[in-house]
Amino acid sequence: MRVLTVGGGGREHAAVEAFHRAGSELYCVMKNANPGILARAKGHLLCDEKDVAKVVEFAKANDIELAFIGPEAPLGEGIVDALEAAGIRCASPTKAAARIETSKSFMRELVERHGIDGNLSYASFDNAEDAEAYLKGIDHEIVVKPVGLTGGKGVKVQGEHLHGFDETMEYVREIFDGNIGGAGVILEERAVGEEFTQMVFSDGERVVPMPLVQDHKRAYEGDVGPNTGGMGSYTDADHLLPFIGEDDRMKAIAIVQSIVDALAEEGCPYRGVMYGQFMLTINGPKIIEINARFGDPEAMNVLTVLDSNFEDICWRMATGTLDAGAEFSPKATVCKYVVPKGYGVKSEAGHEISVDEEAIRGCGAVAYYANVDMRDGKLVTGTSRSIGVVGIGDSIEEAEANCERALAHVRCDAVFVRHDIGTRELVQRRVDHMKALRSA
């Protein structure tokens, strides 16, 4: 099938590899010349991924039959609506359905309207004065979020990034003054527990779950520092996580299914990958955010072990015929992102980076190219995450060791990695944290 992919990051490279394994003929749009994607593409276009008219023109010129959109920004611009209007099937949501991610207040209100489990108390504001009055009236810790899209970087948590009323208000004002996210501020109750990601494939009606993943949002080892798009992530061989059992997982899947049902009921059926980010609390899973796409890095974990035909799954999502499950190998994966120095605060870009793909494969791992660019025959880093390295193994420990050995084959003098991701110590700390919360 002639497949269009949009996006040039690690998530999209992983999707392109999955399409390639399925025998798809690939046409790829991205802003950076991602060498991993280019190696698999029959045709490509380097342009702003939000330039809907250009992407549609490219798709029509190449007789595309199926489109897959990686990042959220083009979804927010209505790229799926435009492709569908041109007669092209899409394994990604329309602009209206993607509001589940593009507006954090739409998500919270939808969940509230339909009485879906897992909501947190919240209030959204279009000015700092009302937010201030609300803050004065509550006695629990909160999280401050811009309502609109910020690439996962605009969220600050009281008790971690914000201490006390004054600091919190200062950040609220900063969001309004800088118009960060472009749509106001949402203040949410702070949920305490362990985070996990449950992604599903959906055809607008049914959901097919993927293995659970745990991402690491904080920039530095020990889970400190600013929030990032995600520094790395792991999955376990049984597709659960060491701190979460089947019961809580079923609750998370039920929440995602209810959201799919609610969107269908409201006239904007959701087709594509839906990403549920949850906090496992002592009162069960609570919704942190819902995204209208694969997570990045999480896509690299699950697509690496996807045994089913990805093109077939995407076609079924696009055409409302997702009547079978998806198979994933019983393997654990650990993904660590190599990111440019300063990432999370102010990245230092433009440094040469080299990746020995064959040596990495020899270590029981795979490398995915992300925000890197080919310039004058050289591979250089951009301002976002550079290379995702995914170790595979029978256990998290083995996958982690393979990932670490493979990382030695990515060379650059201006990058860093969170080496603690997937280590026995960090995973055990998560298990102990949940145990302590339950017994308190």
Taking the CA atoms of the chain, what radius of gyration do you get in angstroms? 21
CA distance 245 to 215: 17
Q: Out of ligand GLY, ligand AMP, none, which partner does residue 290 contact, by CB within 5 to 8 A per kind?
A: none
Q: Minimum CB separation from ligand AMP for residue 271, in Å?
A: 23
Window 130 to 159, contacts with ligand GLY (CB under 6 A):
152
Contact residue for ligand AMP among 102, 105, 277, 371 (CB under 6 A): 277
Per the rule left: phi > 0, alpha: psi between -120 and 50, beta: everything else, 87 is left
Strands (E), 165-293: 185-189, 194-203, 207-209, 214-215, 218-220, 224-227, 232-235, 271-281, 284-291
- Among 100, 143, 147, smallest CA distance to 121 is for 143
Q: Out of ligand GLY, ligand AMP, none, which partner does residue 296 contact, by CB within 5 to 8 A per kind?
A: ligand GLY
- Residue 296 found at the interface with ligand AMP (CB under 6 A): no
Tokens 């440094």, residue located: 351
Q: Out of ligand GLY, ligand AMP, none, which partner does residue 309 contact, by CB within 5 to 8 A per kind?
A: none
Q: Minimum CB separation from ligand AMP for residue 23, in Å?
A: 35
Number of residues forming the site for ligand AMP (CB under 6 A): 16
Torsions phi, psi of 141, nearest 5?
-75, 150
- Residue 298 found at the interface with ligand GLY (CB under 6 A): yes
- Residue 291 found at the interface with ligand GLY (CB under 6 A): yes
Peptide bond preceding 93 in cis form (omega within 30 of 0): no
Instruction: Pick between residue 231 and residue 237 the one whose CB is nearest to ligand GLY.
Output: 231
Q: Please, which residues have CB within 8 angstroms of residue 149's CB and are 6 or more apart in sequence?
A: 72, 73, 76, 101, 102, 181
Contact residue for ligand GLY among 36, 146, 276, 295 (CB under 6 A): 295
- Among 59, 53, 76, 45, smallest CA distance to 3 is for 59
**Residue closest to ligand GLY, measured at CB:** 230
- Residue 188 found at the interface with ligand AMP (CB under 6 A): yes
Applying CB under 6 A, the span of 9-17, 93-101, 152-160, 377-385 interacting with ligand AMP comes to 152-160
- Residue 76 found at the interface with ligand GLY (CB under 6 A): no
The stretches of 120-183 forming alpha helices (DSSP H) are: 128-136, 164-178
User: Measured in whole angstroms, how far is the alpha carbon of residue 427 from the centre of its chain?
Assistant: 20
Q: Minimum CB separation from ligand AMP for residue 122, in Å?
A: 8
Tokens at 268, concatenated: 């904007």
CA distance 301 to 383: 23
Letters for 101-140 (x = contact with ligand AMP by CB under 6 A, - = none) are: -------------------x--------------------
Contact residue for ligand AMP among 70, 152, 204, 393 (CB under 6 A): 152
Applying CB under 6 A, the span of 53-61, 119-127, 289-297, 373-381 interacting with ligand GLY comes to 289-297
Contact residue for ligand GLY among 215, 311, 373, 404 (CB under 6 A): 215
CA distance 375 to 388: 20
CA distance 231 to 184: 27
Residues contributing to the site for ligand GLY (CB under 6 A)? 152, 215, 229-230, 291, 295-296, 298
Residues contributing to the site for ligand AMP (CB under 6 A)? 120, 143, 145, 152, 155, 157, 188, 190-191, 195, 217, 227, 277, 279, 288-289
